[in-house]
Each structure stands twice: as structure tokens, then as C-alpha cells.
Amino acid sequence: MRPIRLFTASILLFPAACCLAGAQDLSQIDTLTAAVVTDSPVLQKRSVSELSTDIEVIRAVVSPLGEGDAIRWAQTMPGVTTGADGTTAFYVRGSNMGNNLFSLDGVPIYGYTHLLGLTTVVPTSVIKDATLTKGGFDATDNNFTSAHLRIDSRRPDRGYRVSGAINNFLVSAGGEANFNDRISFVASARISPLTLEYQAFKGIASSLVGGISGFNAQIGDLYGKFRWDINSRNSLELFGLGTLDRYSLSLSEDSRQGMGWHNGIAQLRYAHEGERGRFSASVSYNRYGSSQEEDKVYREVRNHLSLKSDMTEVTARVDRLRRAGRRERVELSYGAKYRYAQFEPGQVGAINNLAHVHLADAYFQFRYSIPEKLEIKANARGNFFQNSKDRLWYIDPSGSALARWNISKTVTVEAGYDYLVQYYHSLEGLPVGWSTDMLVPSGASVMPETTMQESLAVTLDFTRHKASIGGFYRDMDNLVFYKYSQTMFNGGFASWEEDVEQGQGRSFGGEFLYEYLGRSFYARASYTLSKTTRSGFPSYYDGGEFHARFDRTHVLNILAQWKGFSASFTVQSGHWEHGAAMTYPMHILDGEQWTASYYSGVYNYHMPTVLRLDIGYQHTFRTGRFTHDLNVGIYNVTNHFNPFTLYFDAEQEKWMAISLLPIMPNFSYRITF
């Protein structure tokens, strides 16, 4: 075992941290995903396909920041696996990470991670609730083929409130006001003192920083929402979110590396609530960009390489819902959406790969329900996509169906079917949650991705004990495989069309969730048993079947809470990496035979099991007008080494494994008045 010097006791994450954060001899490694902790004993929404939670549960999740986020809550649900342990990378029912949709108030956020994948860009202070949908999707959203993690922002109570918060890596301030339920606003700003923390730690224990110098990080976000309730039926809402992540450092005197990403989002929405339905219309603007840079001295000449990718999207949509029937048991929904997007992936010098795309769709949805007895939902959507650069267009159908029948007060049966289409594609890199993966549109090089899914489940409700068990089967077509996914920085992005292949995927398995709610004790266990494969990629195994990278057979998450104390434990089967050697005989001149190794396959080495234990404590108290929220905990209590990738050490002539986060104390403190 040979751990490489860690970046800092609290950071361990920058890109170069892939080389510094923790490496061990391959013969002594093991792995696992992130565990989660909820806050108050609140049982999940009783649906297998759709799980919801509120902000109190989200905040109590144990994380390196001391305060949780929506993705870390979602990572503990059945059907979900993670990428690198401790990060926000997540995969649902065998799909790629880029097949997930992450949205805030209905607007997609394409670069949704923050602080090098430790958290998300949406401040917890503005969140009302979060919903993870894995099947039986509503017709209102499209252009994804796996899961939808939907964040809904909160509306402030009457009066005004100011708050401030601090945790391991972020300092934030916010304010909100509500004037007679007519006019309200919410504002939040966060910034990270990561550069100052690095400098302070370097001065105290420079030996732990290793060869890193000149580290600089610019991390922050700004959110604002204004709402005007014109009258009891009509409202107007405007919100905006801007985020920035930018990092740079030097690993040697003759080189400097940097990377970053940013988001700029705004939406104006009008809503009308009628006696038997509602209507809404909105227009939104979405800007996402990422960059990677390198300065390197070669033969006494300094060379600069800069790779940039940008996407700008403008969306207009209308949605209508009507309730029909004497008891209003029937809901009819219909609407349309138009998006114009401009993609500039892999910009290098004069090369910008500019593409203009148009995506339009219309949908119709039928829902019939008998309260506490039966719910049937079915929808259909027509999609039109055009890539002006490649002069190609596609017309594709999509749709979903879901039926939920309460056989008795105790037993509910649920069945679902989905057929989904996706026109934006992510060239996925390292599974660490960094939002540097390049987005490209469907066109001559990449066809639309599709997914067909079937699911069946049973839920049991015995008041304090609740459980669900179900199975799913998912077929995926035109999945994107980027050949240089292991490379953190390379000029191949400029000619990405030559390095992408598409094939098929298949995933099936079972999901189990159990919850117990006592007077002061809450427990939850979720377990997923699944099998995920890839096939049809011409360059690999002659198009034959092989393991998906995050084909984790077993995923178990256990949570226990008692009077503010919480503990979570995660066990996951190891994922798959390149690295298994094959051998062939070589004959030397004197006739002797020597065995040599060669590496030709992908995802053929099974990484060891991932394990992690987290503990935490949450306490809320008041002093006069002030409300104090304190979270303290320890992340990865056992300091278990959970690597996420491999590299070959030429000096030692052996494979080494890299991990990100060791044992890490964490805290968060929030004051509100």
C-alpha cells in the first residue's frame, strides 16, 4: 500500500488530485459509493417510480460539506449507483450519467455540479422539495432517457428573513420577503474560500500538499427569484441563476493546468389557476460552458492549449391542464415546447464546430384517479429535431404509461412503461461529477438515443413499517461511448466526431426499499440487484457484449436516525475498469519462451467492493429572534480507500488505483433571523 500525499486534509479533489488524492497498489484496493442520511423521520412518497422529499431531509444528508444536497439524497434510492465515491456522479437503472435530467423549476441545468463534484449549484436555502422520477414520466419534460431529478424552489412565508451560513467549503448569505402574499422575492449568494484554505493549509503542513503550487479556485453562485401574484388566480414569476467554477494549479515549474464551467439561467413564467384547471406559459434562457487549459514548456518554448465548449438554449413553452367529470377524476393535459440551441463543442483556435439546432414537441396526457384506490396515467409526445449544420432532421414518438392500484389499505401494485428519446449527448469523462463533459447534438456523427423500459412493483404499508419491492427491464439504443473517457485533458475534443461510437445497452434487476418510523427513531434500507451490459460497439469485442462501467451487481444503503444523531452505511459492488491483462508467448533467439502481457479490452477488470460509513449530528435551537442550525459529522469514518480509476505507473511497472476522499470531519452552521 503506497498512499500518495494528499492535497489537503479537507480538499483532496482538484483535477490533479487524480494523481495526488490517493493511490494504492492495485493488489490492495477496494471500492464503494456514497451513503446518505436523512434529517427528520419523514417517510418517502409511496411510489416506486417517483420518490419525493423535502428540504429538511435533504439538508440532513451527511456529506463532505456538512450539509446535504438533492443528488446525495437521490444516490441512496433503489436503482441508483454512484461514480467516484464521495462525488455527485450518479447512474440510474443502467443508463449513462448524461442520460439524466436535472432541472430547477422546469429549466434544465446542464452544468449542475459545484466544488469539483462535491455538491450541486442549487443552494439549499432556496429549495422547497426534490423528486426523483425513474419511470412513468409526466409528458411535460423530455430530451432525456434515464431519470429526472426535479428541484422545486420555495416561496417565502409572510414577512422577511435574512440568513447566513458557513460550511467546510462555502460561505453564503440570503434574504427573502413576502408582502401580503402579493409580492415576494428570494435571493442567495455563495462563494468558496477554497484558495484561502489551500494557502493556510500549505503554510501549516506544506508536506501534505505534495507538488502542487499556485492553486487558485474561483467558485460561486448567485440566485434570485421574484414573484407577483396579480390576483388569486394569476401570477408572474421571474428567476435567475448564475454559477462559476474555475480552477488552476501547477504540478511542475514548466506546466500549468486549468479547467472550469459556468451556467447562466433565467426564466419568466406566467400561470393561471382556474376552477377546473390551470394554464402556464414561459420563456427561458440557458447558457452552459466548460473549458480546459494547459500551459507547458517544451524545448524552451511555452505552448498554450485551450479547449472550450459552449451551449446556448432559448425555450418557449405552454402547458394546459383541465379536470373533467362530475368528481373531477379525469385530468387532461396538453402543451407544446420549442427550443433553439447553439452548440460550439471542442473550440480550439479557429475551430468552433458551430451547430444550430431546433427541437419542437407537442404532447397529450390522460390521467384518471379514484382517491386512495386507483390511478392510471398515459401520455404521448411527438418530437421534431433539426441539426442545421448537418442538414439532418428526425421525427420521433415518445411516451409513458403508469398504473397504480391500491388492492387494499396495505397492498399497492404499480406497473409502468416508457419509451424515451434524447437529442443532446454527453461525452462522458472521469466519473467524478465535474461538469466538463462536452455536450453535442444529434446529427451526422451521433443519432438520437432511445430507451424502452418496463417496470412492476408492489408496496406494503403497515403504518410504521413500509416496504416496496419491484423489478425493471431497460433496453437502450444508440448509447454514446467516448473513447477518451479516461483522459482528463486532450486535444481530441476538437475532432470528437472521430472518437465517438454508438451501440446498445441492457439493464434489468430488482429494487427494494424498507422504512421504519418510530416516535424518535427512523430507519431506511434500500437495495438494488441488477445486471447492466453494453454491446454493438464496433471497436470493442467485435460488437459483442461487455460490462457497463458502472455495472454494480449489489448496491445497499442503510440509514438510522435517533434524536438528531444519524449514521449511514453504504456497500456497493465494485465497478469495471480497463486493466485486465491477457498473455501471449514470445520466443527468444536461444529458443526460450517468455510470456508477455497485453491490454486490449475495456471494462474487464472488476474493482473491489466499495464501503463507507458516515455519522452525523443535527441540532436546531433559538436565541431570541435568531434560529441556529448546526450540522456536524464525519465522512468516511473508517477512512476506507474507495478508488474510482486506474493508471499504470511506469516507474514501478504496476497498476495503481486512485481515490478521492479519505476520512473527513465536516460541519455546517446556519443562522436565520
- Residue 100 predicted with pLDDT over 60: yes
Is position 469 within any domain? Answer: yes
Q: What percent of the chain has pLDDT over 90?
A: 67
CA distance 16 to 258: 10
Is position 76 within any domain? Answer: yes
Mean pLDDT computed over 301-314: 85
- Sequence-ordered strand ranges (E) for 148-233: 148-153, 159-167, 171-179, 183-191, 213-229
Mean pLDDT computed over 284-294: 93
pLDDT at position 210, please?
58
> Which residues partner with 490 through β-bridges?
none
Confidence at 594, pLDDT banded by 50, 70, 90:
low
CA distance 489 to 508: 34
3-state secondary structure of 98: helix
Ranking 141-150, 273-282, 654-663 by mean pLDDT, the lowest is 654-663
pLDDT tens across 29-50, in order? 332 233 333 333 444 446 889 9
CATH number at residue 582: 2.40.170.20
**DSSP state at residue 99:** G
The string of DSSP codes covering 440-480 is EESSSS-PPEEEEEEEEEEEEEETTEEEEEEEEEEEEEEEE
Q: What is the β-pairing status of strands 148-153 and 101-104?
A: parallel
pLDDT at position 242, please?
98
CA distance 489 to 18: 12
Buried b (16+ CB within 10 A) or exposed e, 108-136: bbbbbbbbbbbbbbbbbbbbebbbbbbbb
pLDDT at position 9, please?
31
pLDDT tens across 131-162, in order? 999 999 999 989 999 999 999 999 988 899 99
Is position 597 within any domain? Answer: yes
CA distance 460 to 414: 11
Among the listed residues 86, 77, 111, 107, the one whose alpha carbon sits nearest the alpha carbon of residue 97: 111
Cell numbers 464551467: residue: 261
CA distance 250 to 22: 18
Q: Would you say 615 and 43 are in contact if contact means Cβ atoms under 8 Å apart?
A: no
Among the listed residues 666, 668, 644, 662, the one whose alpha carbon sits nearest the alpha carbon of residue 12: 662
Single pTM value for the model: 0.89
pLDDT at position 315, please?
98
CB-CB neighbours of 375 under 10 Å: 20
Is position 556 within any domain? Answer: yes
pLDDT at position 205, please?
57
CA distance 243 to 290: 12
Those residues with Cβ within 8 angstroms of residue 293's Cβ, 6 or more apart along the chain or in another chain: 248, 257, 258, 259, 304, 305, 306, 307
pLDDT at position 187, please?
97
> What is the number of structural domains in the chain?
1
Is position 6 within any domain? Answer: no
Is position 647 within any domain? Answer: yes
Domain that holds residue 482: 17-672
- Residue 89 predicted with pLDDT over 90: yes
Average pLDDT, the chain: 87
pLDDT at position 16, please?
36
Mean pLDDT computed over 601-628: 93
Give the number of residues written for the chain. Answer: 673
Give whole-number Cα distances, 440 to 116, 289, 353, 426, 600, in Å: 22, 12, 10, 7, 28
Among the listed residues 355, 448, 337, 318, the one whose alpha carbon sits nearest the alpha carbon of residue 394: 448
- Residue 459 predicted with pLDDT over 80: yes
Is position 302 within any domain? Answer: yes
Is position 8 within any domain? Answer: no
